[in-house]
């Protein structure tokens, strides 16, 4: 049952499975960290996403992402980066004790390390959030049941110089297409939360290394 992933037993299982990576990665330097907010929307387990402002500078403007951003020298560690950025972007305060752990880091095309931090934010009404318009155009959630349906899952093959380079997952049929590193992190999250249900058809090992 998907609801079990938010039960006390499900939380303990996830914390246990993430403990090793969390201990190893938490204090290591990284370029950025994102929060993967696991929430309950009208009683249904879901993940919370943002649509980055189209007015931002850089190549990721207008992309679907998890709340997060660059690590600041004043941040204690990557967990605090993710929590700080979530507050700054969404006005959502997530207590540190709600953090379950760190998923395997992923790397962008510039080989910069992005650290995903999984946290349970409990019951949430996305309409109650007040996103910072300078950073976020929209906030939306996708139920785990939606993400786990095979008709909503796909893969994109990337080529460079006429040669196949790598394959990334993509999640379809929601308010916005979830792709790129955000889709990779979504895949890692589903593998953790629903190991008996989510079976990726293809792997992208070069982006899954931690």
Cβ atoms of residues 5 and 45 within 8 Å: yes
pLDDT tens, residue by residue, 163-196: 766 788 999 999 999 999 999 999 999 999 998 8
- Count up the domains in the chain and report the number: 1
118 in a domain, yes or no? yes
Residue recorded with tokens 């309950």: 40
Q: Is residue 54 part of a domain?
A: yes
Partnered with residue 106 across adjacent β-strands are 114
Positions in the chain short of pLDDT 50: 203-210
> Is residue 169 in some structural domain?
no
pLDDT at 162 (0 to 100) = 73
Sequence length of the chain is 210
- Distance in angstroms (rounded) separating the CA atoms of residues 198 and 190: 6
Q: Are the C-beta atoms of 47 and 186 separated by less than 8 Å? A: yes
DSSP structure string for 71-139: PPTT-SSHHHHHHHHHHHHH-----GGGEEEEPPPEE-TT--EEEEEEEEEEE--GGG----TTTEEEE
Which residue range forms the structural domain that includes residue 51?
A: 2-147
Is residue 205 situated within a structural domain? no
Position of tokens 């593998």?
191
Q: At what angle do helices 180-193 and 8-25 cross, to 10 degrees?
A: 130
pTM for this predicted structure: 0.90
Q: The CATH number of the domain where 59 resides is what?
A: 3.90.79.10
In a domain, residue 158? The reply is no
Predicted local distance difference test score (pLDDT) of residue 184: 95
* Residues 6 or more apart whose Cβ sits within 8 Å of residue 147: 47, 153, 171, 186, 190
Indicate whether 111 belongs to any domain: yes
- Is 117 within a domain? yes
């Amino acid at each position: 049952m998907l609801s079990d992933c938010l039960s006390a037993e499900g939380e303990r299982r996830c914390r246990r499975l993430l403990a090793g990576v969390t201990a190893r990665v938490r204090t290591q330097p990284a370029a950025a960290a994102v929060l993967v907010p696991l929430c309950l929307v009208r009683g249904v387990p879901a993940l919370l996403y943002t649509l980055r402002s189209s007015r931002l500078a850089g190549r990721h403007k207008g992309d679907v992402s998890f709340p997060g951003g660059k690590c600041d020298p004043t941040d204690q560690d990557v967990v605090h980066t993710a929590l700080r950025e979530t507050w700054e972007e969404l006005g959502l305060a997530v207590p540190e004790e709600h953090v379950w752990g760190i998923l395997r880091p992923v790397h962008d095309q510039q080989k910069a390390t992005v650290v995903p931090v999984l946290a349970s934010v409990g019951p949430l009404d996305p309409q109650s959030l007040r996103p910072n318009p300078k950073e976020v155009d929209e906030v939306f959630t996708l139920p785990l049941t939606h993400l786990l349906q095979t008709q909503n899952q796909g893969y994109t093959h990337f080529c460079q110089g006429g040669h196949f380079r790598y394959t990334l997952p993509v999640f379809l049929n929601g308010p916005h297409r979830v792709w790129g590193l955000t889709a990779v992190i979504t895949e890692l999250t589903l593998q953790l939360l629903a190991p008996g249900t989510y079976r990726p058809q293809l792997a992208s090992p070069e982006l899954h290394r931690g």
